[in-house]
Chains A and B, each alone.
Chain A
């Protein structure tokens, strides 16, 4: 049960984005860099992407949930720590796995199949480039918009996209929280009547299906 109204959430989101401006541009550039590395892998690129995702999740956990949402939502601290935990998981698996070599880490940017790369890229590009204008078109006033790296939904879908296009069993571990958030975020959006976030559960289920299908091929 949500104990705040749509207008209150949008006002909080607007003031949060205002206070962080122009971090949104930096997040967009870094997101594009991650997509570029997924498209054309470079040495060390997967570690860079993992570091970027880890920072994004920890920021959303601490800056969005613990600092902002906690003032209106008693469940926000729980979500906040979950996002921080996901950031730490990404840092541990994505960053350290490369260094440890050979271990079942998660190789970001080296997909198991071309179809998975396309689905993953599609999800990540949707989160990075389509979610903010879609929200605006569907009535969320500027600057109360979802942004990869700053708000939870766009961050979850972007991360899921990269994981779908990645290799290694650790993808499942790393995809659990993003998929869970896609489902929960969709429910919250429904309760708050925010149609721009209705695609979240679809993105989560599409990501889950893609992970499942590509997971059966040898990595």
Chain B
């Protein structure tokens, strides 16, 4: 087993300091203790560390104007930050998701650990500039930590804008995304040629094609990797059903299948973070648990994949 180096985040340090003066309230202690043990990984381009579990928002945060559903998602967001959550990933493609994130952030107050990531998803370069400005407005942020080109759409043109935005402080990092194994060859060429900080791709215990070329290339080129569809959009849970947890789960501190699936991903050395999506507070807690404790080594990773394949 390899032990992930727990890295105190900025917020955890603050919480830790605050904890010295806190009364012995269990909740307050948990809050102070929780994020302190969160695993983080460095962004190769800068060395800045981010928590290994982020949050996706396609579908789950696209709840329109419904006030009840917006408040329910704000609760999910609150639990995410309480557990030391960092990256939130969205896109203008996800309907009202960006507006709902903005709604939640406004109610919770800006969070120290937030690592804001969205995308540009439009053909025209000029309209892309407007779309990114609209995203900043919806989130209520002056700049994004990460701006990505969604599914390689008009990537050459947008990359030009993104480089300028990075230089002028509208985005701290830039990247490009794909999913479900689409256009991997083209992505590989872009990764090999262009200076990128991040790449986002699909990877999970059953969809492992990226292990062959893209993940090694990202490691070689010093590109941070965000993993989307860690649960195959929920299909992995349908496959697993109510299968009992394997005995080895305890060896890597997994209390449920979600943590097994996430730790499989996180234990690949090229991966920087995974961004599972959920509408449910209970699921968010399970997912955030994956950033705590031991990680599987190579032989256990093989057993993990075999166990899910056999179901």
Interface residues of A (CB under 8 A from B): 2-5, 7-8, 11-12, 15, 71-74
Contact A11/B66 with A3-B59, A5-B59 known, Cβ cut-off 8 Å: yes
Report the minimum CB–CB distance from B98 to chain A (whole Å): 11
**Residues of chain B with a CB closer than 8 A to A8's CB:** 62-64, 66, 69
Interface of B is mostly: loop
CB distance A71 to B59 under 8 Å? Answer: no
**Residues of chain A with a CB closer than 8 A to B279's CB:** 5
State in angstroms the CA–CA spacing of A104 and B48 once bound together. Answer: 71
Report the minimum CB–CB distance from B281 to chain A (whole Å): 16
Chain B: CB-nearest residue to A68? B64
Check if B238 is an interface residue, CB within 8 A of chain A: no
Interface residues of B (CB under 8 A from A): 58-60, 62-66, 68-69, 93-96, 279
- Given contacts A2-B59, A72-B62, A73-B95, list 8 more A-B pairs with CB under 8 A: A3-B58, A3-B95, A5-B63, A8-B62, A11-B69, A12-B66, A71-B95, A71-B96
CB distance A3 to B94 under 8 Å? Answer: yes
Report the minimum CB–CB distance from B93 to chain A (whole Å): 6
CB distance B59 to A4 under 8 Å? Answer: yes
Report the minimum CB–CB distance from A15 to chain B (whole Å): 7
State in angstroms the CA–CA spacing of A71 and B92 once bound together. Answer: 11
Chain A: CB-nearest residue to B279? A5
**Residues of chain A with a CB closer than 8 A to B94's CB:** 3
CB distance A3 to B62 under 8 Å? Answer: yes
Report the minimum CB–CB distance from B237 to chain A (whole Å): 16
State in angstroms the CA–CA spacing of A74 and B58 once bound together. Answer: 12
CB distance A71 to B64 under 8 Å? Answer: yes
The 9 closest A-B pairs by CB, nearest first: A72-B95, A11-B66, A72-B64, A4-B62, A8-B63, A3-B59, A71-B96, A72-B62, A12-B64
**Residues of chain B with a CB closer than 8 A to A7's CB:** 69
